[in-house]
């Protein structure tokens, strides 16, 4: 019996020191944007429903603004006592997508856009437009 337990112990030790199969993986597959396709907007998920909002931020010259800060506070649950703060930055295409926003809200969600002291606010009401698109021009 001792031989059996000893052999089991040795095999467990060998398993723990074997190289991980993750270290032998190849490079990750390229995204459509890296292959020359249209770039996808940066995304952040609230995981509260099926609505979404796409925000495109451009400057006075109509060029996309990189790294504009997008923030939103979602109040949900009974009496709106639960709060979720979202924060994301635009990519080189000036876009951010807020995914999985709640389908019904007692209060609208105010989406704040800010870059270099220039700011704007958009109001998201899922009852009016569940899949909203906002084009924001910061001046």
Characterize 22-55 residue by residue with b for buried, 16 or more Cβ atoms within 10 angstroms of its Cβ, and e for exposed.
Answer: eeeeeeeeeeeeeeeeeeebeeeebebbebbbbb
Per-residue pLDDT for the chain (139 aa), expressed as one digit of tens each? 454 444 444 444 444 444 434 333 333 334 444 445 555 668 899 999 999 999 999 999 999 999 999 999 999 888 888 999 999 999 999 999 999 999 988 888 999 999 999 999 999 999 999 999 999 999 8
Give the distance from CA 9 to its chain's centroid: 45
For 13, the 3-state DSSP assignment is helix
Q: Report pLDDT for 47.
A: 94
Give pTM, 2 decimals: 0.70
CATH class assigned to 42-137: mainly beta
Tokens of 110: 């105010």
Q: How far apart are CA 49 and CA 25, in angstroms?
A: 35
Half-sphere exposure of 70 (CA within 13 A, CB side): 30
For 15, the 3-state DSSP assignment is helix
């Amino acid at each position: 019996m001792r031989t059996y337990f000893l052999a089991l112990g040795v095999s467990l030790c060998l398993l723990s020191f074997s190289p991980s199969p993750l270290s032998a993986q190849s490079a990750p597959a390229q995204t459509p944007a890296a292959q020359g396709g249209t770039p996808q907007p940066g995304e952040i998920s609230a995981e509260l429903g099926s609505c979404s909002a796409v925000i495109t931020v451009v400057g006075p010259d109509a060029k996309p603004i990189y790294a504009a800060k997008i923030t939103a506070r979602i109040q949900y649950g009974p009496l709106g006592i639960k709060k979720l703060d979202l924060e994301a930055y635009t990519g080189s295409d000036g876009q951010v997508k807020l995914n999985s926003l709640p389908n019904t809200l007692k209060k609208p969600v105010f989406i704040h856009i800010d870059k270099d002291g220039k700011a704007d606010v958009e109001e998201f009401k899922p009852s009016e437009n569940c899949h909203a698109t906002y084009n924001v021009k910061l001046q």
